Amino acid sequence: MSKKPILFWYLVLLIYSVLVSIEWILPFSTFYLPFALLAYFWSDFGVTGKRVFRKKGIISRNVSEMNLSSIESINVVQGIIGRILNYGSLEISGRGTTAVYFSNIDDPAKVGKLIQNKS
C-alpha cells in the first residue's frame, strides 16, 4: 500500500486550510491522518507462487485470496492524481464472482503484469 495518497491529501487539506482559513479542515485532516496510517500499517497484500491475497484489519481480520490458476482478469484503476504520483488499485477477478482488491499500491500496472506473468 502506498503512503502517497494519504500524505498527498493530508498536505492538500493542510495547505487549503491555511490559504482559505477554514477552521474545520485542520482538525478534520488531523483526525483523518491517524486512521489512514492505521489502515496502511495493518493491511497486507501479497503474491506467492500459488496465490494472491489481501489481509486487512486490526482487531477483526478480513482475508481475501485466490489461486493464480483461477485468475481471469486484472484491472488497473488510477485517477489523475494516481497517474501523476504513480499509485492506484488492482481488481483481480477470478472464476465466478470472486475478486481480490489491492488498493493504493505503488505502480499498479507493473504489479498487474507481474501477477499475469506468474499465472
pLDDT digits (tens, 9 = 90+) for 54-110: 888 777 788 888 888 888 888 999 888 888 888 888 888 888 777 888 887 888 888
Answer yes or no: is pLDDT of 14 > 80: no
The boundaries of the domain holding residue 78 are 44-119
Count of domains forming the chain: 2
Task: For the chain, give the percent of residues with pLDDT over 90.
Answer: 1
Nearest alpha carbon to residue 114 among 45, 63, 62, 64: 45
Quote the pLDDT of residue 11. Answer: 73
Same domain (yes/no): 110, 75: yes
Contact 108, 90 (CB under 8 A): yes
With cell 500524505, the residue in question is 7
Same domain (yes/no): 50, 21: no
